[in-house]
Chain A
Amino acid sequence: MAKRPPNPNLAKIHRNYTVEEVANLFSVHKNTVRLWVKDGLATNDDKRPMLILGSNLKDFLQAKRKSKKRKCLPFEIYCVRCRLPQLPAENMADYEPINCSMGRLIGLCPSCGGIINKYFNVAQLEQIQGKLDITLPKALKHINESA
């Protein structure tokens, strides 16, 4: 299983750390910490041993965690293969109900052609109807028309 990203709250804001201490704290390699410094983690000064302020470390890891998030808009579906939120190919998606309130939106990824899907609330289907051409299963369509 992939390792969990470091928890920013482990860094104490009033303390300062050497590279080795940061590595021990987050159970990562020393070189990983040096890579963070190259990526923009601020150090205390240019002297040795290199010191990293806890407050800077916390901010850096929080920003890092935030930048990893890929938030989808309601009409977008996350493509696991491309690791991006994608608008389904030709704006078409199928709705497959699971129970009376929930279902899955299934579409094709426009860039890799793989199947992309996400869980969706029936009540919110109408909101995305303008953006996506949603194919409903026959039974559900029938209910919608009679209503």
Chain B
Amino acid sequence: MMKHNAENERIKRKYFIFLKEAKRQNESSVDAVAKAVSRFESYAKYRDFKTFHFEQAVGFKNHLAKQDNQQTGKKLSKATLNSTLG
């Protein structure tokens, strides 16, 4: 199973540098973004970001709403959904 997309990793890296340096975001905020992006990537089966289509985003949104919280077994909270999709 594919675990990463080499081109995407480079794009992600540039974006995280942008958030840190240009947007002056804190390290933990960038970490949160990194986690959300990796959630999306694993949903999209590590497809190239260049082939992005808005239906992927819609599908990801629906997919995330069905996911269980690993610790409590309940559905993901609204706060998690909001921070992941925001």
Contact = CB atoms under 8 A, between A and B. Distances in A.
Interface in A9-52: 12, 14-16, 44-45, 47, 51
Given A51-B10, A51-B13, A53-B9, A14 B34 contact: yes
B31 A16 contact: no
B38 A14 contact: yes
Given A44-B9, A51-B9, A51-B10, A12 B4 contact: no
Contacts of A16: 9, 12-13
Name A's interface SS: loop
Nearest to B32: A14
Name B's interface SS: helix
Given A15-B16, A51-B10, A44 B37 contact: no
B6 interface: yes
Q: Which of A15, A51, A55: most chain B CB closer than 10 A?
A: A15
B35 interface: yes
A15 B4 contact: no
